[in-house]
A and B are shown apart, each in its own frame.
Chain A
C-alpha cells in the first residue's frame, strides 16, 4: 500500500480533450507534488502544492494546471491534450513543505494515453 492514492489508474483521451487526475496524499502529509514520467524516462517535476497554493513549478506549459483542496487532496488538469502528453502521471506527498526536498511517498500513478 503506497499510502498515496491516485485515480483513475488508466485513462484514454482524444487529442484536444481535457483531463483531470486525482490524488489523495498519505495520511499526515500536507504537500503534494505531481510528476510526469514518459516512457523510458525518469519522472519530471510538474508542480507542487501546499496550503492550497502552487508553490513551485517545473518547465511545463500553462495547459497543465492544478488544485489542492482543504483536505490536502489534489487534482492535475491538462487542457488541449497532445499526443506527447501520453505518460504515467505520478503524485507524491510529503509531510512538511519546508522539508519536502527530504523525500516523498509516491502513488502508483495514472497512465494517460492520448490518441
Chain B
C-alpha cells in the first residue's frame, strides 16, 4: 500500500531561518504530490502541488518544493520563515489509479519571533 513519511515531527525555528521539511513516499507508479498547511484553528489549505513537468514547484507564501523521483521525495523549502508560518504541514500523495489522498503524519512548525 502507498505510504507517506514525514520525518520531522516538530520543528522550531527563529524568524528568518531557512526551512526544509522532508517528505518521502512509497509508490512505484505515477504520483501527484501536494503540500497542505493547517494554521491553528483553520482548515487545510493547499500550499503547492506537482503533477508533471518542472520538478521544482513554487507555491504560495514563498514556499517551494522539489520532486526527486529517484529518491521518492518531495521536500518543502522556504528560504526565510516568518512567525506567521507557524502551522502544521502535511505532505500528501495521490495516484492515477484512485482518487484518495495518502497523507503523512504532519510536521508541526513553530517560528519564534
Interface positions of A (Cβ within 8 A of B): 2, 4, 31, 33, 35, 40-45, 48, 55-56, 58, 90, 94, 97, 100-104, 106-109
**Known A-B contacts A56-B98, A101-B98, A103-B34; A90 and B44 likewise in contact (beta carbons under 8 Å):** yes
**Known A-B contacts A4-B43, A90-B44; A43 and B100 likewise in contact (beta carbons under 8 Å):** no
- A101 contacts B43, C-beta separation under 8 Å: no
Out of B92, B99, B104, name the residue touching A55 (CB < 8 Å).
B99
Out of B43, B94, B98, B106, name the residue touching A107 (CB < 8 Å).
B43
Residue B90, interface by CB 8 Å: yes
- A102 contacts B105, C-beta separation under 8 Å: no
Q: Which residues of A contact B36 (CB under 8 A)?
A: 106
- A42 contacts B100, C-beta separation under 8 Å: no
Q: Which residues of B contact A102 (CB under 8 A)?
A: 32, 49, 51, 94
| Complex alpha-carbon distance, A75 and B4, angstroms | 28
Residue B103, interface by CB 8 Å: yes
20 interchain pairs, CB-CB under 8 A: A35-B103, A40-B106, A41-B106, A42-B4, A42-B92, A42-B104, A42-B105, A43-B90, A44-B103, A48-B99, A97-B99, A100-B99, A101-B94, A101-B95, A101-B100, A102-B49, A103-B34, A103-B46, A104-B101, A108-B42
Interface positions of B (Cβ within 8 A of A): 4, 6, 32, 34, 36, 42-46, 49, 51, 90, 92, 94-96, 98-106
**Known A-B contacts A41-B105, A42-B4, A101-B32; A33 and B51 likewise in contact (beta carbons under 8 Å):** no
Q: Which residues of A contact B4 (CB under 8 A)?
A: 42
Residue of A nearest to B88 (CB): A42
What distance in Å separates the Cβ of B3 from its nearest Cβ neighbour in chain A?
11
Residue of B nearest to A100 (CB): B99
| Complex alpha-carbon distance, A55 and B102, angstroms | 17
Q: Which residues of A contact B102 (CB under 8 A)?
A: 45
What distance in Å separates the Cβ of A89 from its nearest Cβ neighbour in chain B?
12
Most buried by A among B51, B99, B101, B104: B99
Q: Which residues of B contact A45 (CB under 8 A)?
A: 100-102
What distance in Å separates the Cβ of B94 from its nearest Cβ neighbour in chain A?
4
Residue of B nearest to A1 (CB): B43
